[in-house]
Amino acid sequence: MGNLRSVQKALQTVGADARVTGDPREIAGARSVVLPGVGAFKNCMANLRRLDLLEAVQKTISSGKPFLGICLGLQILFSESEEFGPIPGLNIVPGKVVRFAPGMRDPQSGAELKIPHMGWNRVAFKKKLPLFDGIADASWFYFVHSYYVLPDRPEPVAAATHYGVEFVSGIQWDNVHALQFHPEKSQKAGLTLLKNFSRMK
């Protein structure tokens, strides 16, 4: 769903043997798996279903191997999305995906905030995770999205960001890590994060 090659290139930059594949057997044999995605939730779920990859994603997560979702790869882990919906997700993390409310304003300038949320913003870490090693809290990361996740419980929340409201920008749930921002577009901090993930076992 749009950013496969840029994620692959970023992972290769930090020394990972990153391969783009739609083969469930190759996914099953991988040491870790990254699921990127940009675009619409409904289309992403339909594409995974069409390519017979829904089961591969679920088996990857249940196997306990490191899993990283990026942007839509975060959102589809949730129970449902209100985008063109409700549309059922994978229900790995209980909760839903909702749209930024129109008319939100910057608390400092009073200016109306644009949707989609596009550009650089700070990410506050809510958990101390190996994924965040070597990255300062409140570092800047790059975002492109109109929807954000609302977990039913606080336990999965690993990072948060302010854009009109405070929203969850990262989760950690057992072996699952997932991010609303794009580490592959976030320069040094993003590459550090991807390098940390590539070293997970």
Catalytic residue among 44, 117, 177, 184: 184
Is the peptide bond between 116 and the residue preceding it cis, with omega within 30 degrees of 0? yes
Catalytic residue among 71, 117, 145, 177: 71
- Give the SS3 label for residue 33: strand
182 is catalytic: yes
**The Cα angle at residue 146 between residues 71 and 74, in degrees rounded to 5:** 20
Catalytic residue among 117, 145, 177, 182: 182
Residue ranges in the chain assigned as alpha helix (H): 4-13, 24-29, 41-50, 54-63, 72-75, 187-198
**The Cα angle at residue 180 between residues 115 and 107, in degrees rounded to 5:** 45
Residue pointed to by tokens 């279903």: 49
For the annotated catalytic residues, the residue numbers are 71, 182, 184
